Amino acid sequence: MSLRMLLSILRRHSLMPTLVLLQVALACAILCNVLFLVQQQLAPMLAPSGIAGNELILIDQLASRQKPWSAAEVRRGEQVLRQVPGVRDASAAFGLPMVAGLVDMSLQGGNGVKLGVNGYLGAGLVKTLGLDLVAGRDFLPDEYRDFGMGGDGNSKWDPGAQQPIIITQALADQLFDGGQALGKVMSDPGDADGHGYRVVGIVRHLLRNQLRLASDGRADNTVLLARRIGSTSMLSFAVRVDPAMKDSVREGVAAAIQREFGDTIKAGLVARVSFYNERRAQAFKSERAALWLFAGVTLAVVIVTVVGIMGLTGFWVQKRTRQIGIRRALGARRADILRYFLVENALIVMAGVIVGMLFALLGNGLLMRHYELPQLPWIYLPFGAALMLVLGQFAVLGPALRAARVPPVVATRSV
Amino acid sequence: MFGYYVDMALRSLKRSPVLTALMVLAIGLGIGASMTMITVLHVMTSDPLPGRSAMLFTPHLDPLPLDHKHRDDGPDPTDNLTWPDAMALLSAHRAKLQAAMAGGSLLLRPARADLRPFTVSGRYGTAELFALFGIPFEHGQGWSSGDDASRARVIVLGKTLDRKLFGSASGIGQTVRLGDSDFRVIGVTADWRPQPMFYADLSAQSFGDTDQFFLPLSAAVDLKLQINGNQSSWSKNDSGEPMTDAEMTWLQFWVQLDSAAQVQAYHQFLMDYSAQQKVLGRFQRPATEAKLYSLMGWLEHKNLVPTDVRLQLWLALGFLVVCIVNIVALLLAKFLRRSGEISVRRALGARRRDIFLQLGIESATVGVAGGVLGLLIAELGLWSVRRRPDDYAQFAQMDMSMLLGTLALAVVASVLAGLLPAWRACRVQPALQLKTL
């Protein structure tokens, strides 16, 4: 049967095909947007942290009661933590992932691109966090400058000279042509008289603090600054431990913190001591719940659409039983009838997909305007289209097979 | 005739159970998903203090310097007041009732040996707090403004905490050790838990546990107790006394105003105060920055509904549309299959209107069944929402209006879905159909 005939039949009986088309269009629009939302939610969860998560204990919620802790007290805290059995390394730090408090800054690279990044501050973080240094070197001990929060005058951000910086591979690729960042200088566009940063090392991965921004290739927008925590009224620590002694070492660390800072911590506060991986699971709890919801919606939309197409096509096949019988009597094979219904469905679904893409872009436009969502990438459209085609063919298979089984003798009866 | 049509509808639906089940399932799923999200939104935007909310207002000043750059992702410093401003508004006493307050979590060390120390959250406030919000007392009473002035170490406990610490006898006259200080219990309030917690620092906490204690703000400042909300400071030099610093906002302030004239007058007072502070050199921004929000206006301004919830609501409504289109398709198939039956009725004298009514009632029957299923699915959905880790989640409950709304929405949706199929079925030519019978 020629395509022209098929189209003319569709035109003559346009109500049923229009309804199928509308169903497909709506389902396609919703599925494209839901898949996109899922991807947005998944990206931060799937981004590699670069951190040895089950070997890292994080300590925060430490605020001083009266006066800030001095740099010497912070150093002693690190020292005491290192002496706990099972501890391999300890650093006082700011801005770490899964820890309250963040350092954000803007950097301009050799190719003029400007990016917002999170900075991590603290001495020896490459070793403590267990980062994978792919090029260059760690900071040298004499490169660190003191920096504190709410402390005394030595906590100035800009020391008046070029500072060494360690960046991630992803940042090197974005900020420098060909990713050749080592030894190059970056500037801070927000700081007019800044002296810039010289890249001394590159680490493979390091997850940023702002998890909400950790999608669309921004998960690794993180730098390490050559700062040692000085006089400060807010403290947090990163402690690298022996994973074999997980449970005992946590208690040891908590006891050491209580001994060292228990008397000077703000009344009513209790320091939080927990593994990076536990905090990560906690931080993504809400996202995981949302993912289940999206999965449920996707499944429900798919089921409802398939059922709708099946019901409608089934009725249409029944209505045309006589015509099918006539065609069979005139020499059409079962395969011809089957193919006819499959092709017909494919045509309708394709038209529906085109309308659905328009709906999807329209819906995405609305979401973008009101909810700060990024543009729906084009790649989702053919993907959604393919999914709908498969679903359509699957839904029509049953009715089409039933149609193919109609015997030619039906043509001679009045139904 | 109506009863007859309902009977006909039931018979017709029973004749094709699979198709009927599919339609009921489709509308049930759509309605269930939509009502789950609509209920969540309803709970989040409901009046936290029915009856009193219309009289409560919160003043806001802008003490920020002109060159202060506000970061988009950070909390707004002008959401709260500084200590000097709050004290000035308090002592001016221009409203019927007024109170300054802030939240705090403190470590409580119980006298009972069988209880380990635990953290409780509560509120530091000034004397008129209880009258202002209408917090009901079980025993005793609140403190006086004299206690505020003398920074008295007194405390009012919530019923739950009182029971936990002192059992069935009320703890009035006993002492409670919070942080490093002792407080004398002078009152016990009934459990009072408006949601959202409109009077808290909403950027920090909006839904959650009820306050378990109240103590004088002056005592909290005296003892430098820990504060829960945001403390936004733009001070260049550290005074060492951040709580009373004129360049740090951390206090919430609420007033009761009974008439529009009073609201007008209070707003004028705020602008006059700002202008005066500007003359004194403390404020740099225009006096028109001083704002007075009503309770519901403040909640709207703070926009407590998270983006996720709104997105999920749109998603659920989109899904409902998919379901409705699906039911249009299924009803069309169902009605047109009965062309023969309809033709017989038409031939026997039924008008198109009668056919339309009969089919409409059949759609509505599907809608009622779908609505009941939708209710069950919505309850299931709300149960899953309550298991979410977000702080608003535990309050997602369906009330009577939502329950009736669900059924109404289901019937409206199914009748709408039945319109096109019923219209189409009415136009069947009886003669043509009867010939083929």
Structure tokens at B351: 């008008």
Overall domain count for chain B: 2
**Same-domain status, B148 and B297:** yes
Domain that holds residue B128: 53-302
**Same-domain status, B293 and B391:** no
* pLDDT confidence band for A352 (50 / 70 / 90): very high
Mutate to test the interface with B, among A20, A23, A26, A278 (most CBs of B within 10 A): A26
> Could you list the pLDDT tens digit for every one of the 437 residues in chain B?
788 888 888 888 888 888 888 889 888 989 998 888 888 888 888 888 888 888 889 988 888 887 776 665 667 788 888 888 888 888 888 888 899 998 888 888 888 778 788 888 888 989 888 888 888 888 888 888 888 888 888 999 888 888 888 887 777 888 888 888 888 888 888 888 888 888 888 776 777 777 888 989 888 888 888 888 777 777 766 556 777 777 888 888 999 988 888 888 888 988 888 888 888 888 888 878 888 888 888 888 887 777 778 888 888 888 888 888 888 888 888 888 888 888 888 888 888 888 889 899 999 998 899 999 999 999 998 888 888 777 777 777 788 888 888 888 888 888 888 888 888 888 877 777 776 65
Cα–Cα–Cα angle for B364, A396, A36, rounded to 5 degrees: 80
Count CB neighbours of A29 within 10 A: 25
Structure tokens at B295: 């309770």
d(CA A245, CA A247): 6
Q: Looking at CA atoms only, how far is residue A133 from chain B in angstroms?
A: 31
Name the residue among B362, B297, B361, B334 with its Cα closest to residue B424.
Answer: B334
Closest residue of B to A289, CA-based? B388
pLDDT in tens, A268-293: 677 888 899 888 888 888 778 778 87
> How many residues in total does chain B contain?
437
Q: Looking at CA atoms only, how far is residue B202 from chain A in angstroms?
A: 18
Q: Looking at CA atoms only, how far is residue B309 from chain A in angstroms?
A: 10
What does the H/E/C string look like for B210-239?
Answer: CCCEEEEHHHHHHCCCCCCCCCEECCCCCC
**Cβ atoms of A334 and A77 closer than 8 Å:** no
Q: Is the peptide bond before B196 cis (omega within 30 degrees of 0)?
A: yes
Q: Of B178, B307, B389, which is closest to A286 when you measure between CB atoms? A: B389
pLDDT at B240: 64
**Same-domain status, B93 and B229:** yes
In this complex, is the C-beta atom of A286 within 8 Å of any C-beta atom belonging to chain B? Answer: yes
In sequence order, the β-bridge partners of residue A154 are none
- Which of B260, B280, B302 represents a domain boundary (last residue)? B302
Structure tokens at B358: 């009969």
Q: Of A26, A33, A286, which is closest to B325 when you measure between CB atoms? A: A26
Q: Looking at CA atoms only, how far is residue B307 from chain A in angstroms?
A: 6
> How many residues in total does chain A contain?
415
Q: Looking at CA atoms only, how far is residue A285 from chain B in angstroms?
A: 7
d(CA B338, CA A257): 79
Restricting to B residues 45-74, those with a Cβ less than 8 Å away from any Cβ of A are 73
Helix B307-337 to helix B400-426 angle (10° resolution) is 40
d(CA B366, CA B31): 13
**Same-domain status, B265 and B391:** no
d(CA B380, CA B39): 12
**Same-domain status, B208 and B122:** yes
- For residue A322, pLDDT over 90 is answered with no
Name the residue among A343, A58, A101 with its Cα closest to residue A232.
Answer: A101
**Same-domain status, B393 and B250:** no
Q: Of A15, A26, A33, which is closest to B322 when you measure between CB atoms? A: A26
Q: Where are the alpha helices (DSSP H) in B96-244?
A: 129-133, 145-149, 159-166, 217-222
**Same-domain status, B290 and B313:** no
pLDDT at A415: 46
Q: Looking at CA atoms only, how far is residue A127 from chain B in angstroms?
A: 31
Closest residue of A to B319, CA-based? A301
What would the mean pLDDT of A385-413 be, rounded to a whole number?
A: 86
Q: Of B226, B319, B329, which is closest to A267 when you measure between CB atoms? A: B226
**Cβ atoms of A171 and A223 closer than 8 Å:** yes
Closest residue of B to A281, CA-based? B389
Yes or no, beta carbons of B329 and A19 under 8 Å apart: yes
- Which of B246, B268, B302 represents a domain boundary (last residue)? B302
pLDDT at A166: 92
**Same-domain status, B285 and B318:** no
pLDDT in tens, A380-395: 788 888 888 998 999 8
Restricting to B residues 246-305, those with a Cβ less than 8 Å away from any Cβ of A are none
For A19, phi and psi rounded to 5 degrees? -65, -45
d(CA A228, CA A394): 62
Q: Looking at CA atoms only, how far is residue B391 from chain A in angstroms?
A: 10
In this complex, is the C-beta atom of B177 within 8 Å of any C-beta atom belonging to chain A? Answer: no
In this complex, is the C-beta atom of A372 within 8 Å of any C-beta atom belonging to chain B? Answer: yes
What residues contact B92, with CB distance under 8 A and at least 6 apart?
B269, B273
In this complex, is the C-beta atom of A150 within 8 Å of any C-beta atom belonging to chain B? Answer: yes
**Cβ atoms of B27 and B327 closer than 8 Å:** yes
Complex ipTM above 0.85? no
pLDDT at A154: 47
Yes or no, beta carbons of A371 and B180 under 8 Å apart: no
What letter does residue B138 receive in the DSSP assignment? E
| C-alpha radius of gyration, chain B, whole number | 30
**Same-domain status, B199 and B310:** no
**Cβ atoms of A364 and A376 closer than 8 Å:** yes
For A35, phi and psi rounded to 5 degrees? -60, -40
Restricting to B residues 366-405, those with a Cβ less than 8 Å away from any Cβ of A are 384, 387-390
**Same-domain status, B24 and B133:** no
**Same-domain status, B411 and B429:** yes
**DSSP assignment of B243-286:** GG-TTEEEEEEEEE--SHHHHHHHHHHHHHHHHHHHHTTS--S-
Q: Of A30, A292, A300, which is closest to B29 when you measure between CB atoms? A: A300
* pLDDT confidence band for A267 (50 / 70 / 90): low
**Same-domain status, B277 and B355:** no
- For residue A173, pLDDT over 80 is answered with yes
The single-letter code of the amino acid at B266 is: Y
Distances (CA, A) of B173 to B111, B112, B143, B177, B187: 14, 16, 13, 13, 9
Residues in chain B within 8 Å Cβ distance of A26: 318, 321-322, 325
**Cβ atoms of B359 and B422 closer than 8 Å:** yes
Residues in chain A within 8 Å Cβ distance of B316: 297
In this complex, is the C-beta atom of B107 within 8 Å of any C-beta atom belonging to chain A? Answer: yes
Q: Are strands B118-125 and A272-275 parallel, antiparallel or unpaired?
A: unpaired
Q: Of A67, A371, A414, which is closest to B310 when you measure between CB atoms? A: A371
- Which of B248, B281, B302 represents a domain boundary (last residue)? B302
pLDDT at A237: 92
Q: Looking at CA atoms only, how far is residue B270 from chain A in angstroms?
A: 32
Closest residue of B to A266, CA-based? B226
Q: Of A34, A268, A371, which is closest to B307 when you measure between CB atoms? A: A371
Q: Of B178, B240, B326, which is closest to A23 when you measure between CB atoms? A: B326
For A235, phi and psi rounded to 5 degrees? -130, 145
Yes or no, beta carbons of B322 and A270 under 8 Å apart: no
* pLDDT confidence band for A107 (50 / 70 / 90): confident
Residue with token string 């009073």: B262
What would the mean pLDDT of A186-200 be, rounded to a whole number?
A: 77
pLDDT in tens, B257-309: 888 888 888 889 888 888 888 888 888 888 788 888 888 888 888 877 777 78
- For residue A4, pLDDT over 70 is answered with yes
For A144, phi and psi rounded to 5 degrees? -75, 140
